[in-house]
Amino acid sequence: MVRSCNARAVANLGIASALALFLGACGGGISLPSFSSSSAAPEPGVEPEMPASIRADEIVGRWGLASFQNPNDRTRTEVQAKAQCKQPYVIGAGTSAA
């Protein structure tokens, strides 16, 4: 005879197994019928790609980082950026022609 706590554990295991089988069938490539009457909307067309405003060869070189919000800070920021030119970010030309 099965005790009640064992019966509950067996029932929980059975429910978990059934749920796992049901959810596993959803991703396994099984196609379930659709009950809706509407047809699928067509995919929108691909929008044309916008042309780049900066060419790739224009960014090749040695660059530093500087930023200012107030126009009065421009000269101070430029002086500090020039002082940091010993550690520039170097951007080289890539090998692909994309």
Chain segment 56-74, per-residue pLDDT in tens: 888 888 887 788 889 999 9
d(CA 66, CA 79) in angstroms, rounded, equals: 10
Closest by CA to 83, choosing from 69, 64, 62, is 64
Q: Which residues contact 91 (CB under 8 A, 6 or more apart)?
A: 59, 60, 61, 62, 63
* pTM: predicted TM-score of the whole model, two decimal places: 0.34
Spell out the alpha helix ranges (H) of the chain. Answer: 4-27, 74-83
Most confident of 25-29, 33-37, 82-86: 82-86
Give me the phi and psi of 82, to 5 degrees please: -65, -35
